[in-house]
Amino acid sequence: MKFFIDTANIAEIREGCNMGMVDGVTTNPSLISKEGRKFEDLVKEICDIVDGPVSAEVIRTDTDGMIQEARDLAGLHENIVVKIPMTIDGMKAVRNLTEEGIKTNVTLVFSPLQALMAAKAGATYVSPFVGRLDDISHEGMLLVEQIVEIYSNYAFDTEVIVASVRNPLHILESALMGADIATIPFNVLTKLASHPLTDKGLKAFLDDWKKTQS
Ligand code: G3P
């Protein structure tokens, strides 16, 4: 299972890389806006840090505009994957970009049929947003389960990125379901490592060790 980090913050990305937990990065316009930097400069810096796919999202919503923006983004660095919204225009853009050899990540996916369309259009990745479904009392992980099953039934190459992750259980369930990737916010990534019994056990070992030194 691959771990992507869902942030545009350089310090978080570097720390995640130091932990050996960053196989790729996903950004979106909201994450980029938090950093207060020029989009292209920030994305290029992320690509220089991370040896893996880096998703950067288009802003235009018409097919021609998305294709043009995607070409510009893909020209910035070989690691770039272009995030395209799950719309009819988006599907047309994905089909064209796939033919051109530009990698795509279809974003804002909230139903299994949207994911099926994204795969048929030739998307490299699909991003179901589980947390935002949970927020409106729909079971986000059920969506992932259905997408994984559909893709397996028909041997689609499109990889599933579990996105809008809010807690460690999203990662556990993703792994059990066989999702290819989870894109994880930094605060959730650090939570995966922590357990109170680890902290308690380490403290007891160190306290006992001190006794041997007196
Ligand atoms: O990057 C897309 C996705 O992960 C956004 O998450 O928390 O804004 O729903 P969130």
Domain that holds residue 89: 2-212
Task: Decide: 63 and 92 in contact? Cβ < 8 Å.
Answer: yes
What whole-number distance in Å separates Cα of residue 177 and Cα of residue 193? 20
**163 CA to centre of ligand 1 in angstroms:** 6
- The alpha carbon dihedral of 177, 182, 188, 194 has a sign of positive
Specify whether the backbone of 155 is left (phi greater than 0), alpha (psi in -120 to 50) or beta.
left
**164 CA to centre of ligand 1 in angstroms:** 4
Kindly report, residue by residue over 202-212, the tens digit of the pLDDT.
999 999 999 99
**pLDDT for the residue 157:** 97
Kindly report, residue by residue over 8-36, the tens digit of the pLDDT.
999 999 999 999 999 999 999 999 999 99
In this predicted structure, the answer to whether residue 151 has a pLDDT above a threshold of 90 is yes
Tell the residue nearest (CA) to atom 9 of ligand 1. 164
Q: Residue 143 sits in a domain of what CATH number?
A: 3.20.20.70
164 lines ligand 1 (CB under 6 A): yes
Percent of the chain's residues with pLDDT above 70: 100
**pLDDT for the residue 156:** 98
Tally the domains of the chain: 1
Of the residues 83, 92, 103, 203, only one is catalytic, namely: 83
Q: Is 203 a catalytic residue?
A: no
What mean pLDDT value characterizes the chain?
98
Kindly report, residue by residue over 51-79, the tens digit of the pLDDT.
999 999 999 999 999 999 999 999 999 99
| pTM for this predicted structure | 0.96
